[in-house]
Amino acid sequence: MKILVINCGSSSIKYKLYSSDSDKPLDKGLIEKIGEKGSAVKNHSQGVRKLVSGLLGRKVISRLDEIETIGHRVVHGGEAFREPRLINPQVIKKIRECSKLAPLHNPANLAGIIGCRKLFPRIPQVAVFDTAFYQDMPKAAYIYAIPQSYYKKYKVRKYGFHGTSHQFVAKQASKILKKPLTKLKLITCHLGNGCSITAIDQGRAVDTSMGFTPLEGLVMGTRCGDIDVAAVFYIMEKEKLAISEMDQILNKQSGLLGVSGLSNDFRLIRKAMAKGSQRAKLAYEIFIHRIKKYIGAYLFILKGADAVCFTGGIGENTPKLIEDFRQSTLRFLGSKTKILVIPTDEELMIAHLACGLINKPQNKKRKIK
């Protein structure tokens, strides 16, 4: 079985093609500048067509019907989706409803889904949600301490993101530790441009650092993470800023970039630090301090952990950072808690989840609507 995994951004489509008998992709690529001025690719439907003609042209596949399943990354599943779902008109309607919670992401994800359904009307397609892994968290972890009418009216709560990555890393940790997930307590740290930490008890996410949006929690490349909201009101008042301007500052101009004044790129922060930049050093120290704070909190919530796992561009490529965490862990927790570096692979996880769903006996018989 060949499985195409699609991850649509507002102006791009990232894809990987897998065969069900291997974890190595047969092909991968990126279609960019969709809908941009001067681009030949006007919309996501055209993008999907370009992607597929590339696969045919390079003879990765010889016929369209070699692709038997398509897995789509969908950023926000709200409270409607607790697990991957076969796409049908009702699922599309619900994904559309979740767009108000993720206006930058879900419409692009949907455009990819609709483009694929046009080109592959008979192939089962599966939506895999970044938020689904967190739908089992206890209420104490996801309800904000604000009047509950806002949760009831507008669904304002912690959702959590990067779920597919944390789930993949947890599965890999279980293989490495040779113990089933049901017997493990794990803290998974996804440190890329976006950063998040999740506490996982027996395979179930029990808390996570990102919130109603990906802004909450750790310091990231350009996001501030946790901040006193009163400080935000104060800055808005002083600088006479509109909501959209403040949103831009907190999401795009803060984090490593905001503190260092140099870059959101962790490599450049470390280089500048080595050359003596005090601002880069401060950015680095705030970044690490926040990670430690969350790990400490989650160790307490989980009552210890079998492993703390690091992934993402920063987590996978900064041995010095990992060694520091290893030394601190050894000192305070002993050798029972392992420090693991596990490369993430969200597309492979989506392929596995899509394949798993399609192969359920009830779905094998189901007619695709």
Residue ranges binding ligand ADP (CB under 6 A) = 192-194, 221, 265-267, 312-314, 317-318
Closer to ligand ADP at the Cβ: 85 or 162? 162
Contact 73, 346 (CB under 8 A): yes
Closer to ligand ADP at the Cβ: 32 or 83? 32
Contact 93, 81 (CB under 8 A): no
Number of residue whose CB is nearest ligand ADP = 313
Cα gap 200→302, rounded to integer Å: 8
Least distance (Å) between residue 238 CB and ligand ADP: 30
Closer to ligand ADP at the Cβ: 71 or 124? 71
Measuring CA to CA, which residue among 126, 121, 116, 129 is closest to residue 369? 121
Least distance (Å) between residue 257 CB and ligand ADP: 10
Least distance (Å) between residue 211 CB and ligand ADP: 17
Least distance (Å) between residue 283 CB and ligand ADP: 11
Tokens standing for residue 296: 């400490």
Closer to ligand ADP at the Cβ: 306 or 347? 347
Cα gap 212→106, rounded to integer Å: 15
Least distance (Å) between residue 213 CB and ligand ADP: 15
Cα gap 275→166, rounded to integer Å: 34
Least distance (Å) between residue 252 CB and ligand ADP: 14
Active-site annotation holder among 65, 130, 207, 226: 130
Contact 308, 337 (CB under 8 A): yes
Residue 130 known to be catalytic: yes
Closer to ligand ADP at the Cβ: 15 or 266? 266
- Give the CA count within 13 Å in the CB-facing half-sphere of 88: 8
Closer to ligand ADP at the Cβ: 317 or 363? 317
79-93: b (≥16 Cβ within 10 Å) or e: ebbeebbbbeeebee
Contact 102, 73 (CB under 8 A): no
Closer to ligand ADP at the Cβ: 314 or 351? 314
Contact 263, 256 (CB under 8 A): yes
Contact 185, 302 (CB under 8 A): yes
Least distance (Å) between residue 61 CB and ligand ADP: 27
With the CA atoms of 164, 315, 281 and 238 taken in that order, what torsion angle do they form, in degrees rounded to the nearest 10?
0
Beta-strand runs (E) in 281-330? 307-311
Our separate counts of H helices and E strands in the chain read 15, 11
Contact 41, 50 (CB under 8 A): yes
Catalytic residues, which ones? 130
